[in-house]
Amino acid sequence: MTWRDYFQLPPVGRHPQEERVLIRNFVAILGESVAQSFLALPVFGLVMYGHMPLAVIALWVGVFLLHECVFAWLLWRFRRDGPAAEMRRYLDLREWMAFSAALWGSMMLCMFPVDAADPYRMVVLLWLAGSFSVISLLLAPCRDLHLIYFVGYWAYPLYRFTSETGTLYDLLLLGIGLFVLVEWQFVSDFHQIMFQTARLRRSNQGLMASLQALNDDLQAKHEELERQQQALRSALEERQRLAESDALTGCLNQRALRSQLTRCAEQSWQRHAEWGVAMLDLDWFKQVNDSYGHLVGDEVLRQVAKLIEQRLADGMLLARYGGEEFVVLSPRHDGLALLAVMEDVRLTLATTVFNGLPADRPQTVSIGVTGCQPGEPVQNCLRRADQALYHAKRSGRNRVCLAEEIEPSGP
């Protein structure tokens, strides 16, 4: 295995999801350090001015600025190519990080001249410690680069201090050794924290995805339940409509009529207002069935029901009472208002040519109308309307009679 093969080993090969999170963290931290390096390197060159030859300073600053430019270019390629080439661009960055470690070790020769004064050495040492703290954070995601960077960065400074004599340098040597050990432990622990954080994030993402899928499934089931309930309500409403509708004409049947009569009486009592009932009977309808057949008779009944409903005012209800008899309920109108509507119905039927009947064979209707007082029993109302209808038939048919006009006044 060559050195290049070693540095292309992924940091967490058995955990690709966590590895990608660590890669992105590494790139994010590296991008911040590169931006800061373009400001820090010229400042450090000024610190070295007067302690080292100008040519050496210019070389040092130039080499490191070029070094950071390469990092910036690699970072740009990493972001440009996107997730598809993420691993390949990351390996390029790792190779340059390995070269960077060797570069730092060689540049220590320029940063520590033999005849440099102690204060300058202290400044350089502090600067190295601060820079290495930042680099330690940068190295945390890629655990397998730690050792080479630690050795490459500190090998020469430690060697120089071991070659110096005096208590100060012994203390510096001890301090640097402790600092390196602490940094090593910090980077190792921080790597584990980052790895566990990445794993926890992936676990949370999986949990959130599961919860979202569960929520979507519950939402779909809720919507399906709503559809089923709506279909059930529609079916029940349709069943109720069919149960209350006359099969031939489509208007209310006698069962629904009785329910509506009770409701009209209750509303009248609550509003303390009169309401109306009308009974209609087609004139000489038996002759239609006898002369033209029951199929024609059924068709005439359907047409009559449709025409009546078209002439009714809002809120009025039409029901088939039986055979050729119909009832109209007027919950919001009194007997006189209902009388005017029924007269319009009578005229409409008398002037209509019905399908199945000759043009000279009109189908007229006799109608009895009555007004109902609040609290009055509905049977009394129906009886009066029926009496008015009987009076209309005895009076020659094809007419509307108001029960209050034919009943005798007084007890």
Known catalytic residues?
Answer: 324
Residue 162 phi/psi, 5-degree rounding, is -70, -25
Name 145's Cβ contacts closer than 8 Å, sequence gap at least 6.
Answer: 7, 94, 97, 98, 101, 139
Task: Give the C-alpha distances (Å, rounded to integers) separating 376 from 379, 382, 384.
Answer: 9, 11, 12
Angle at 169 between CA 101 and CA 159, to 5 degrees: 35
Place of tokens 């919950």: 331
DSSP 313: P
Characterize 159-172 residue by residue with b for buried, 16 or more Cβ atoms within 10 angstroms of its Cβ, and e for exposed: ebbeeeeeeebeeb
